Amino acid sequence: MAWYAEPGAGRKIRQMVQRVVRQSSERTPIDACHVSDTKQQPELQLAATGLSFVGGLICARFHHTATRIMPLTRREFLIDSASTTLFASSLTTRSDGSAFPFRHGVASGDPLTDRVILWTRLTLPEGTLSASCQWYVATDPTMQNVVQYGQLFTSASRDFTVKVDVEGLQPGTTYYYVFEAAGQRSDIGRTRTLPEGSVDRLRIAYTSCSNITRGHFNVYKELAMRADLDVVLHLGDYIYEYADIDHCLRTGRPNAPLHETQTLEDYRLRHACYKGDKDLQEVHRQHPFMVIWDDHEVANNAWKGGADNHEEGEGSWKERLSGAVRAYLEWMPIREPSQPERGIYRSFRFGDLVDLTMLDTRLAGRHAQAETLEERNQASRSILGSQQEEWLKQCFHASAQSSVTWNLTGQQVMVAQLGTNDMPFNYDQWDGYPAARHRLFESVREAGLQNWVVLTGDIHSSWALELHDNPFADNTGKPLGVELVTPAVTSPGIDNQTRADIAAGSLEAVLPHLNFVDFYYRGYVLLDITHERLQAEWWIVDNIDSHRYAPGCLRKLSVESGTHQLKPAAETVEKLPSAPLAPAFSDDLAILRRWRRDGFGTVDGMLASSSAN
């Protein structure tokens, strides 16, 4: 959860004011705790008054409350009925009135140079135990040039989700795909394999924190319309476990089940609810995803042995975690690990331009958030776990020894230091695990890693910072890298722009390594990457309460290769020529007639070179 949305956020922010201003007073001889003493330093007066003022308002406005399983009240019945109506109208039939099995769309993910995961889910008549599904991959959007096809089976044991790892593809190539089941065809999807060898340019977008009850997924709609993306990263909090009935009533958005998710069936239903959203379906239909979980895929502030939002009386944490992980792997376009209990961290290479590691800072090996300063400073504490730390160290060394220019690390909670080691602020972020952060920085330094860029979600706001061992030191030296934090899709920041601007200005005044921060807008980050520079653009939408919104670029920064320093970019990058987006569904595609004529529709037992997860 974002630190300013937690219970007690107001108190924490007031404490942060005292801490960061006290740190500044080491360089500026004033008593920053008294506003009257800051008249000669207006930026510190803003920090001392602005953050404290805003902090006092935040916790009441954004405090999540978990609703327990109880008999339905009339109010809950109304929202349940509204959700049911929304689901019933969600692509249940086609023009001929027949039942449509692909109500949750199609998706692709985890592309490699020669393969990609394709995903869908079948909605079938009650009582169905198993079903077959055919899939087809083509090089053109009209599905004329089919290059791979196959058949697989699914059943109730995996909630009728369908996942296939299609092999034998060409690197750096856009493909189109469809599924067929129960005499119906899915919408056409579009995906792309990773490039290999010499790569001149990449476009990567990333976002996080998509709470369906908080508003419309307009950010997904914007991403879906960008044809020039190579891949979309989702850095976690793809779903939320809360009941959130109040917000359902306010926004008119569905949430199922009505209670907080705790069982396998609960998590399956919550994933189904999210996958019923048309904007989410469209962004998955148009782009391959690389996903990683954060805490809300299970419960708020999760760690390997529990969570803040898993309380006494809610059953076994082990069973809850197992159900949440199983539902996630069933419902997401991710290549399933052989031992999911060890985490879903993994790496990808984009030719000679980018190495990407996707970290699991929640479930693979995180120790519980500390309750005391002494506990927090213990050298043995980890946010990744020893196995993932060693794996990441090896990835850094391999990347440094290769010819790859940029190294990206996608993960959840902020790495950058926001307080001194004796006065930490947020124990859920890397600030709560200083020994682990020190080991991370040492791994970067020992590998001789150049051009390290950390991509972060979780905090429902936009940040750009330079990474130092101690950013508050008089001589920090050259940064180890930079951290670029994406805003949320819908999850709340500070919804009053004046207060958001005051909070941002206060932090910019006292954090020397902070280039920019915004607490108000939702959006995503676009990365345009060449061998010479990486440009980051924060694209935002001005409204999520309806589908009436205006997009725009909030900030654009660049990092020149070898510098590790953020600078303003002159202009936004131009749209690149790209393969066409996948067309809307059409019952009249000639490929259907050809499949039926040539007998491809049932595959006749022929399987392409692929494996089903």
For the segment 58-67, the average pLDDT, to the nearest whole number, is 30
542 and 417 in a common domain: yes
What is the percentage of the chain residues whose pLDDT exceeds 70? 79
Q: How far apart are CA 49 and CA 58, in angstroms?
A: 15
Instruction: State the first-to-last Cα distance of the chain, in angstroms, to the nearest integer.
Output: 31
For the segment 509-532, the average pLDDT, to the nearest whole number, is 97
3-state secondary structure 439-506: HHHHHHHHHCCCCEEEEECCCCCEEEEEECCCCCCCCCCCCCEEEEECCECCCCCCCCHHHHHHHHHH
Q: Answer yes or no: are the C-beta atoms of 610 and 167 closer than 8 Å.
A: yes
Q: How far apart are CA 136 and CA 507, in angstroms?
A: 52
556 and 497 in a common domain: yes
Q: How far apart are CA 169 and CA 363, in angstroms?
A: 33
pLDDT for the residue 613: 52
Q: Answer yes or no: are the C-beta atoms of 88 and 100 closer than 8 Å.
A: no
pLDDT for the residue 39: 30
Q: How far apart are CA 559 and CA 100, in angstroms?
A: 48
Q: Answer yes or no: are the C-beta atoms of 543 and 549 closer than 8 Å.
A: yes
Please identify which residue in the block is written with the tokens 């007066």: 45
Q: Answer yes or no: are the C-beta atoms of 558 and 567 closer than 8 Å.
A: yes
pLDDT for the residue 398: 98
3-state secondary structure 506-544: HHHHHCCCEEEEECCCEEEEEEEECCCEEEEEEEEECCC
pLDDT for the residue 343: 84
Q: Answer yes or no: are the C-beta atoms of 207 and 488 closer than 8 Å.
A: yes
In a domain, 83, yes or no: no
Report the chain's mean pLDDT, rounded to a whole number.
85
Residues 6+ apart with CB under 8 A from 404: 349, 351, 352, 353, 354, 355
On the question of pLDDT at 454 being above 50, the answer is: yes
In a domain, 380, yes or no: yes
Distance of CA 494 to the CA centre of its chain: 20
223-254 burial, b if ≥16 CB within 10 A, otherwise e?
A: bbebbbbbbbbbbbbbbbbbbbbebbeebebb
On the question of pLDDT at 169 being above 90, the answer is: yes
Please identify which residue in the block is written with the tokens 């794996």: 391
278 and 203 in a common domain: yes
Residues 6+ apart with CB under 8 A from 282: 105, 220, 221, 224
In a domain, 175, yes or no: yes
For the segment 206-213, the average pLDDT, to the nearest whole number, is 98
216 and 284 in a common domain: yes
Q: Answer yes or no: are the C-beta atoms of 136 and 129 closer than 8 Å.
A: no
- Residue 595 host element (H or E): helix 590-598
- Angle at 194 (CA atoms; ends 191, 200), nearest 5 degrees: 115
Span of 230-234, 356-360, 476-480 with lowest mean pLDDT: 476-480
Strand 106-109 with 288-291, pairing: parallel
More confident site: 509 or 64: 509
Q: Answer yes or no: are the C-beta atoms of 220 and 283 closer than 8 Å.
A: yes
In a domain, 80, yes or no: no
- Residue 219 host element (H or E): helix 218-224
Task: Give the pLDDT confidence of 101-141 residue by residue, as tens digits.
Answer: 999 999 999 999 999 999 999 999 999 999 999 999 999 99
pLDDT for the residue 350: 99
Residue 521, sorted as left (phi over 0), alpha (psi -120 to 50) or beta, turns out to be beta
403-416 burial, b if ≥16 CB within 10 A, otherwise e?
A: ebbbbbbbbbbbbb
549 and 597 in a common domain: no
pLDDT for the residue 50: 37
Closest CA to 409 of 419, 395, 397: 395
Q: Answer yes or no: are the C-beta atoms of 228 and 578 closer than 8 Å.
A: yes
**306 beta partners:** 303
pLDDT for the residue 599: 52
Closest CA to 527 of 445, 456, 449, 448: 456
Q: How far apart are CA 482 and CA 460, in angstroms?
A: 19
16 and 121 in a common domain: no
201 and 139 in a common domain: no
| Amino acid occupying residue 342 | R
For the segment 538-567, the average pLDDT, to the nearest whole number, is 97
Residues 6+ apart with CB under 8 A from 367: 303, 304, 381, 382, 383, 433
In a domain, 109, yes or no: yes
* DSSP strands (E only) in 213-286: 231-234
For the segment 205-220, the average pLDDT, to the nearest whole number, is 98
pTM: 0.85
525 and 462 in a common domain: yes
Q: What is the DSSP letter of 347?
A: E
pLDDT for the residue 87: 38
For the segment 483-510, the average pLDDT, to the nearest whole number, is 97
Domain count, the chain: 3
Span of 93-97, 179-183, 223-227, 600-604 with lowest mean pLDDT: 600-604
Give the other-Cβ count within 10 Å of 577's Cβ. 7
What CATH number is associated with residue 140? 2.60.40.380
On the question of pLDDT at 77 being above 70, the answer is: no
pLDDT for the residue 575: 93
Q: What is the DSSP letter of 340?
A: G
Task: Give the pLDDT confidence of 7-17 residue by residue, as tens digits.
Answer: 444 444 444 44
Backbone angles phi, psi at 293, to 5 degrees: -85, 155
Q: What is the DSSP letter of 338?
A: S
Strand 231-234 with 202-207, pairing: parallel
What CATH number is associated with residue 373? 3.60.21.70
Per-position DSSP letters for 51-105, written without gaps between them = IHHHHHHHHHHH---PPPP-PPPHHHHHHHHHHHHHHHTSS-B-TT--B-S-TT-
In a domain, 112, yes or no: yes
Span of 151-160, 224-233, 245-254 with lowest mean pLDDT: 245-254
Q: Answer yes or no: are the C-beta atoms of 50 and 36 closer than 8 Å.
A: no
552 and 596 in a common domain: no
What is the percentage of the chain residues whose pLDDT exceeds 90? 75
pLDDT for the residue 339: 81
pLDDT for the residue 421: 67
On the question of pLDDT at 422 being above 80, the answer is: no
- Domain span at residue 136 reads 101-189+586-612
412 and 471 in a common domain: yes
Per-residue tokens: 551? 């997009």
In a domain, 96, yes or no: no
pLDDT for the residue 341: 72
Q: How far apart are CA 364 and CA 303, in angstroms?
A: 8
More confident site: 189 or 422: 189
In a domain, 578, yes or no: no
291 and 203 in a common domain: yes
pLDDT for the residue 9: 47
For the segment 74-94, the average pLDDT, to the nearest whole number, is 40
Span of 199-208, 467-476, 585-594, 598-607 with lowest mean pLDDT: 598-607
pLDDT for the residue 99: 80
Strand 231-234 with 288-291, pairing: parallel
377 and 319 in a common domain: yes
